[in-house]
Amino acid sequence: MSMEEALTEFQASYTPQPPRKFPEHPNQILPVAVGEDNLSPAPREDARFGNPPVNPPPPFGENTYLWVITGEGIPHILENDPRKDSHGLERLTHTNLTGGGPAYRGGEIWFKSETGFWLSGHSGRYMPQSEAQLLGVIAICNAGGYHVLSLGWDEERNLPIRWRNDLV
């Protein structure tokens, strides 16, 4: 199955949802990369390599990319993309990828190479609602030729894992 077919299957299985809550800052819904920067099949050239958060605090990873699945594809953008400055934001958010509109799900990735990354389902607005959804996203990425290391799903909170000691 191609990445495009896997994406279509995912989109057919789920309904896009509006953001869980409205962002604090109005500029967080300014569309920074709507319809742009869609994740294509591997290799992802010019990717900034990074890693999930490893040395708290603060709980941020290095070169964190935000991703969402929309009707158009999988736009992804560096959280620290310079475009944040023109919007007066400290960091970009998932709603900057959707303009505050609905999305299938969202999360974070950190590229280890042009063909592999860590993936988390953490998003304050478009978090996957089940482990199956997160696995569906991973399947799309695998279909695109990416080797995905998932941060996984936490049964206790029934939410994606955002941090784990054993990754790096």
Partner 1 sequence: MSEERLRKLIECPANQSLEDYLKHWGQKFTRDQDHLSIEVEGATGRKFSAWEAYKAFGPGVLAEAFDEMTAIIVCDREEPARTLRERRKELGLSVEQLSGFSSVPREIITQAEDPRFRTRFRILEKLARALALDENALTFVAGAGRDASLGARLREIGNQTTVFQPMHVMLLAQAAWVIRKQTELGRWLYGENFQSKLAAFKPSPDYGDARRHAWMVGYQLAKETRRLLGCPDGVPVTMREICGNILDIPLVQAKLPKDISGATIYNYGTKGIVVNTQEQNYNVWIQRMTIAHELGHILWDPAWESQAIKVDNYGNLEINTEHKSEDIEKRASAFAVELLAPQQTVIDMFKSNSDEKDALRGIMEYFGIGFTSAVHHIENSFFNLEKKRISLGNIQGVPTQATTEWVDKEFLGTENFEPKSIPDHKRGRFSLFVVQAEEQNLISRDSAVSYLSCAPEEYETAKNTIRSLFTQG
**Interface residues with partner 1 (CB under 8 A)?**
20-21, 24, 53-57, 59, 122-124, 127, 129, 154-166
Query: What letter does residue 129 receive in the DSSP assignment?
Result: S
43 vs 88, which CB is nearer to partner 1? 88
Q: How far is the CB of 112 from partner 1 (least distance, A)?
A: 19
Q: Are the beta carbons of 119 and 105 closer than 8 angstroms?
A: no
CA-closest candidate to residue 135, choices 2, 9, 35, 45: 9
CA-closest candidate to residue 91, choices 76, 103, 81: 81
Q: How far is the CB of 3 from partner 1 (least distance, A)?
A: 27
45 vs 166, which CB is nearer to partner 1? 166
Q: How far is the CB of 108 from partner 1 (least distance, A)?
A: 11
CA-closest candidate to residue 50, choices 60, 62, 58: 62
13 vs 55, which CB is nearer to partner 1? 55
Question: Based on C-alpha coordinates, what's the Rg of the chain?
Answer: 15
The first and second tokens of residue 2, run together, are 């191609």
Q: How far is the CB of 35 from partner 1 (least distance, A)?
A: 25
